[in-house]
Amino acid sequence: MTAQKKFEFDCIPYAAQGTLANLDSRNPVLYFDFPSGRLKMVGTLLFPKAKYLLLKFGAKDVLCEDVFESMVRASCVRML
């Protein structure tokens, strides 16, 4: 059984969900479709020394939803 890979894209808030491509490479691509065109974000896989936590804040508590050991950082963004 292999571990499931998780990817996090630091991206545009409130945008529609995008399409991922080239996940097997060091430079995955994320596409967002908008009425005015298509946004292409080329990223680089990062493997930081520290793990990143995804926290969900409630009214009286904080819940750790997920842990990321790797992430994708978009270095090139352009509208197509």
Give me the number of domains the chain comprises.
1
On whether residue 47 sits in a domain, the answer given is: yes
On whether residue 54 sits in a domain, the answer given is: yes
On whether residue 1 sits in a domain, the answer given is: no
On whether residue 69 sits in a domain, the answer given is: yes
On whether residue 61 sits in a domain, the answer given is: yes
Q: How far is CA 21 from CA 5, 10, 49, 53, 75, in A?
A: 14, 16, 26, 25, 15
Q: List the pLDDT tens digit at each of the 80 positions of the chain.
A: 445 555 555 555 555 677 888 888 888 898 888 888 888 889 888 888 988 888 888 889 998 888 888 888 888 888 88
Q: Domain limits at 67? A: 19-79
Predicted confidence at residue 2, as pLDDT, reads 46
CA proximity to 6, closest of 50, 64, 56, 72: 72
